C-alpha cells in the first residue's frame, strides 16, 4: 500500500533572533492552521533573554501540543559554537515529515551563520527562505 506523501504534510522550521521574531510570529500562527502543515518548529535565539512573544508562543504550544515545538535559546549564535548545531540537529533528527521548509529571520550576520550550519547538515539552498533585517 502506497502512502499519500502529499497528504502527510510539511515541517516548517523557523530559526530566528530577537530582530526577526516579529515577522515570523504571524507566519507561525498561519502555518499551524494550514491543513498541509503537520509540524512547526521554532528555534528562537535571544541575546537579552527577553524572548518577545514568549507568553503567546506558550499559549500556542498548549493549543497545538503535537504540532508546535519551541526552543528558547538564550545565547548569541556566535558565542554558542556547538549549541546551535545540537539544537538544529535535534529538530532534523526528530523530523517525521516528508518535506521540510526552513524560514530564517533576523540580522544578516545571524542569517549567514545559520545558513552555514544548515549547509553543514546538507540542507539545500532551495529549502531556505531568508528575511533580512537591520537594527
Are the CB atoms for 126 and 99 separated by under 8 Å? no
Give the CA angle between residues 120, 75, 111 to the nearest 5°.
45
What is the pTM (predicted TM-score) of this model? Answer: 0.83
- Separation CA 105–CA 81 (nearest Å): 19
Q: What does the pLDDT average to over 22-44?
A: 89
Q: What does the pLDDT average to over 39-50?
A: 87
Are the CB atoms for 44 and 13 separated by under 8 Å? no
Query: Residues with Cβ < 8 Å from 50, sequence gap 6 or more?
Result: 18
Span 80-132, pLDDT tens digits: 444 567 888 999 999 988 888 999 988 888 888 888 889 888 887 545 666 66
Joined together, the cell numbers standing for residue 19 give 530582530
- The pLDDT of residue 103 is 92
Q: What does the pLDDT average to over 25-47?
A: 88
pLDDT at 78 over 60: no
Q: Where is pLDDT greater, at 59 or 2? A: 59
Amino acid at each position: 500500500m502506497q502512502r499519500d506523501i502529499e497528504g502527510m504534510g510539511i515541517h516548517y522550521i523557523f530559526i530566528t533572533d530577537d530582530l526577526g521574531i516579529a515577522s515570523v510570529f504571524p507566519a507561525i500562527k498561519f502555518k499551524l492552521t494550514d491543513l498541509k502543515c503537520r509540524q512547526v518548529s521554532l528555534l528562537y535565539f535571544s541575546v537579552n533573554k527577553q524572548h518577545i512573544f514568549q507568553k503567546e508562543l506558550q499559549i500556542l504550544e498548549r493549543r497545538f501540543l503535537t504540532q508546535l515545538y519551541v526552543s528558547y535559546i538564550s545565547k548569541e549564535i556566535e558565542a554558542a559554537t556547538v549549541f546551535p548545531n545540537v539544537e538544529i540537529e535535534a529538530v532534523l533528527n526528530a523530523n517525521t515529515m516528508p518535506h521540510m521548509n526552513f524560514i530564517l529571520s533576523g540580522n544578516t550576520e545571524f542569517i549567514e551563520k545559520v545558513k552555514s550550519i544548515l549547509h553543514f547538515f546538507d540542507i539545500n539552498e532551495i529549502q531556505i527562505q531568508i528575511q533580512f533585517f537591520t537594527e
